[in-house]
Amino acid sequence: MTGYTFAYLDEQTKRMIRRALLKAVAIPGYQVPFSSREMPMPYGWGTGGVQVTAACLTPEDRLKVIDQGADDTTNAVSIRSFFRKVAGVATTEATAEATIIQTRHRIPETPLAEGQILVFQVPIPEPLRFLEPRETETRKMHALADYGLMHVRLYEDIARHGAITRAYAYPVQVEGRYVMDPSPIPKFDNPKLHRSPALMLFGAGREQRIYALPPYTEVRSLDFEDYPFEPTKAGHACALCGDDASYLDEVIVDDAGGRMFVCSDTDHCRSRRAAGRRGTMAAPFEDAAA
Amino acid sequence: MSAAEPLTGGFAAPAPDAARAFRAILEAMAQPGRIVRLAGAAAPAPAGPALAAALLTLADGTTPVHLAGDHDTPALRAWLRFHTGAPLMPRAGAAFAVGSWAALLPLSDYAAGTAEYPDRSATLIVALDRLEPAGARLTGPGIAAEARLSLPETAAFRANAARFPLGVDFLFVCGDRLAALPRSIRVEAA
Amino acid sequence: MYVAVKGGERAIAAAHAWLAEERRGDPAVPELSPDQIREQLRLAVNRVMAEGSLYDPDLAALALKQARGDAVEAVFLIRAFRTTLPRLAASRPLDTAAMACDRRISATFKDAPGGQVLGPTFDYTHRLIDFALAAGLPVPPAPVAPPQAGPMPHITGFLDREGLIRPEPPSDAEPPDLTRAPLALPADRALRLQALARADEGFLLALAYSTQRGYGSTHAFVGELRIGRVPVAVEIPELGLAVEIGEVELTECETVNQFAGSKSEPPQFTRGYGLALGMNERRTIAMALVDRALCARELGEDVGRGPAQDEEFVLSHCDNIQASGFLEHIKLPHYVDFQSESEGLRARRAAALAGREAAE
């Protein structure tokens, strides 16, 4: 593609984002304001993640892009082809082979390794936003580490429902200091944040915030002694690969509302099937047939 | 290419070279104590290649730079202005401060951020005579168990970490090597 | 047996091909040229320039064509292009007092130097559909008056001279730029005005209207509304002088608003300010009202009487590219979040129903 520099963003913009990233890494869980640019894709489609990825990419990288855990969802396809076009980088669907993984709403099932970077697309970076809409107020709460309001809200939930109802974007506390929104990953994925060997970067384009978790950072999901945090998933095994420990998508398969549950992580599911694992509704493995 | 000339020493391919340099700096900042190599840039003495690459990658017209002590030379000033456009600034207003450890002290001279915006803080690029994975013990985010780094002292870094989330962050350079120490890291003497 | 849906890339390519076909419409109907859009749909072009923050009528016309007439989509195209442009220079402040006005009206004085000039306005047209337009008949030429000879000073200048209106001293401070620095609150007036100048017109209109109905009332009169062309000059440091590089069409509105006074200031008029690229009358008046409403805090007025006075609310929600992107993103896949919600809801429902049965 002509007329645009490597990885689309001009160098000054990349420097600005890079400086914000370094401060974000230096202050884990703190949201660093950055002057997000207007990208050639809509706000809400991953403009923050795309800017972070663009600022981090080198020509040697292998990029994986997932949305809802899948490499083949339309938004993942679109972002992957954007970076192929503007940065000419190699892409992969294999989690273990990727050096940078941009994700929306999931952390891959395959454990990440040191040296990998996971870039999250974040819609609302402020974990306190639904308790207090004003940025001027939530900024003070973070400054004072005043998270009483959050605990009160979670406890009210328990009083009313007997459990914390938050199912995704479940707030975490980083190194005992900043309360952070892990982006709308299911709370099933929260434990993968804790002491992950990979570097995790979070980009919120519209809200102009970048934050980070360095490798091996202590990340605790907020809970109470008598109501400990519980990662949950559908109580089924994947109908294709038979995994009963991976996070599942729910698919409606007939007019009577019949369902099946399949791995949301398509690479994980594919590699299990390639290794001969079979679920109850599995077709013969397509790659083997080819 | 003579490193003493202000108009030379820039990246040959600015976008990919800066991208590679940034990734090395990011790796160093995300895994404090890890020593990375930065190549592709040269600046007038006493600046080494890692310092040159770090400045080209991070500094520009929006980031005031302070050159301290023996790094405040006409040649380095001219090089910095030509390649980055960064304005020179006294310590208090600097986004980046460059010099030897002794020349940069005391740390209280630099912006350490505010309670609401701790990111509005300086990054000190410290030129060291030796940089090795030995010496002071580092623990905290980015480090699996512990790391060792040949820091010039420990008291100042401990005091800096004690102010978290306020504080300054450090890049240490020696020749073509670079390591980082963010404010989040606990430092103990060897 | 089930095989997951594949082929996202092909589906996207097919959708884009279909979109291109739909954009063109019936090939039997001649294709619109950007020139035609620029000349004949000029107010649409102006809105795209104003909200896109880029003065380029040809590009705005092309964006409207590509966007199938959707103003917000066209603004988006312009904004995404604009961010990639190098910034070669900053112009000297525009002197709107030197505007060559096509239109200039004041609601506060019956007459003033320069006079009232109606210009090409819809104001007194009867809104009757002109079926003759469909026939595409030639337009008879409008009568031409000799150009205004004398100056056309700002109306608020006369109030200034009398000390009746709160002075707005000029400043050489570099104004902030929200496209280059993240929005930090509280914002100063220059930053607010920049946000409002590119804000969604519908949002500005609704907010301005709400102040007229008492939600943060500012009792505004249109002191002056002027539309015309203003020269743009750039300082050339090498030459040590400013060079005129062209001119832009602008709309400027200054409202005159009541102010009861405060501990430190006597009762006086105050002003709201609106400025837009191109002929953009409605948005400029609305902008002036919202600007004035947002000055409530600085003037020590009773805030909290309406959303238009709430700086954080207005600045966080006035941008239609941010708003439409985030609004529409909820149509993207959310299978994962939805699954986690429905799993939790099923469990809570089961518990609640079991509890009810046990109680019965």
Based on the residue annotation, tell me whether A56 is a catalytic residue of this protein: no
3-class DSSP state of A66:
strand
User: Which pLDDT belongs to residue C3?
Assistant: 46
A2 pLDDT higher than 60: no
User: Which pLDDT belongs to residue A4?
Assistant: 66
Q: C281, C277, C288: which is closest to C78 by C-alpha?
A: C277
Q: A26, A86, A14, A22: which is closest to B17 by C-alpha?
A: A14
Whether residue B46 is preceded by a cis peptide bond, meaning omega within 30 degrees of 0, is: yes
User: Which pLDDT belongs to residue C1?
Assistant: 44
Rounded mean pLDDT, A150-174: 92
What is the Cα Rg of chain A in Å? 20
B103 pLDDT higher than 90: yes
Q: Which fold has domain B11-183?
A: Rossmann fold (3.40.50)
State the pLDDT confidence band at A3, using cuts at 50, 70 and 90: low
B7 pLDDT higher than 90: no
Rounded mean pLDDT, B102-113: 98
Q: Do C336 and A69 touch (CB under 8 A)?
A: yes
Range of lowest pLDDT (A8-22, B72-86, C173-187): C173-187
State the pLDDT confidence band at C145, using cuts at 50, 70 and 90: confident
In the sheet that A178-180 helps form, which strands lie side by side, from edge to edge? A178-180, A172-174, A219-221
> With an 8 Å Cβ cutoff, is A274 touching chain C?
no
Q: How far apart are CA A287 and CA A88, in angstroms?
A: 27
Range of lowest pLDDT (A157-161, B123-127, C199-203): A157-161
Based on the residue annotation, tell me whether A263 is a catalytic residue of this protein: yes
Whether residue C186 is preceded by a cis peptide bond, meaning omega within 30 degrees of 0, is: yes
User: Which pLDDT belongs to residue B170?
Assistant: 98
Range of lowest pLDDT (A79-83, A106-110, C133-137): C133-137
Mean pLDDT of chain B: 95
> How many Å lie between the alpha carbon of A199 and the closest alpha carbon of chain B?
7
Return the residue of A nearest to B56 by Cα. A15
State the pLDDT confidence band at A288, using cuts at 50, 70 and 90: very low
Q: Which of A33, A38, A168 sits opposite C321 (nearest CB)?
A: A38
| Percentage, residues of chain C above pLDDT 90 | 69
Range of lowest pLDDT (A152-161, B51-60, C278-287): A152-161
Per-residue pLDDT reduced to its tens digit, B115-135: 999 999 999 999 999 999 999
Residues 51-80 of A with CB under 8 A from B: 55-60
Mean pLDDT of chain C: 92
Rounded mean pLDDT, A11-29: 97
Per-residue pLDDT reduced to its tens digit, A233-280: 888 999 999 999 999 999 998 999 899 999 999 999 999 999 999 999
Asked whether the CA dihedral C329, C333, C339, C340 is positive or negative, the reply is: negative
Q: Do C9 and A77 touch (CB under 8 A)?
A: yes
C305 pLDDT higher than 90: no
User: Which pLDDT belongs to residue A286?
Assistant: 57
User: Which pLDDT belongs to residue C99?
Assistant: 94
3-class DSSP state of A115:
coil
State the pLDDT confidence band at C4, using cuts at 50, 70 and 90: very low
User: Which pLDDT belongs to residue B1?
Assistant: 41
Please provide the DSSP assignment of chain B as one string: --TTSTT----SSHHHHHHHHHHHHHHHHHSTT--EE--S---STT--HHHHHHHHHH--TTS-EEE-GGG--HHHHHHHHHHH-PPB--GGG-SEEEEEHHHH--GGGS-B--SS-TTSB-EEEEE-S---S-SEEEESTT-SS-EEE--S-SHHHHHHHHTTTS--EEEEEETTEEEEE-TT-EEE--
Per-residue pLDDT reduced to its tens digit, C48-74: 999 999 999 999 999 999 999 999 999
ipTM: 0.97
Q: Which of A5, A142, A175 sits opposite B15 (nearest CB)?
A: A5
State the pLDDT confidence band at B189, using cuts at 50, 70 and 90: very high
Residue pair C204/A57 in contact by the 8 Å Cβ criterion: no
Q: Do A34 and C340 touch (CB under 8 A)?
A: no
| Percentage, residues of chain A above pLDDT 70 | 96
Q: Do A43 and C326 touch (CB under 8 A)?
A: yes
Q: Do C2 and A266 touch (CB under 8 A)?
A: no
Asked whether the CA dihedral A232, A236, A239, A245 is positive or negative, the reply is: positive
User: Which pLDDT belongs to residue A287?
Assistant: 52
Judging contacts by C-beta atoms under 8 Å, the chain A residues touching residue C341 are 167-168
State the pLDDT confidence band at B152, using cuts at 50, 70 and 90: very high
Q: Which of C1, C183, C348 sits opposite A208 (nearest CB)?
A: C183
> With an 8 Å Cβ cutoff, is A233 touching chain C?
yes
Delimit the domains of chain B by residue range.
Answer: 11-183
C6 pLDDT higher than 70: no
Mean pLDDT of chain A: 93
pTM of the model: 0.92
Q: Which of C333, C339, C340 sits opposite A67 (nearest CB)?
A: C333
User: Which pLDDT belongs to residue B8?
Assistant: 85
Asked whether the CA dihedral B83, B36, B179, B100 is positive or negative, the reply is: negative
Residue with the bigger pLDDT between B186 and C138: it is B186
Q: Give the best residue of C10, C330, C334, C336 to mutate against chain A (max A CB count within 10 A).
A: C336
Residue with the bigger pLDDT between A157 and B71: it is B71
Q: A208, A202, A209, A268: which is closest to A240 by C-alpha?
A: A268
Judging contacts by C-beta atoms under 8 Å, the chain A residues touching residue B29 are 22, 25-26, 214
Q: How far apart are CA C204 and CA C189, in angstroms?
A: 16
User: Which pLDDT belongs to residue C23?
Assistant: 97
User: Which pLDDT belongs to residue B68?
Assistant: 98
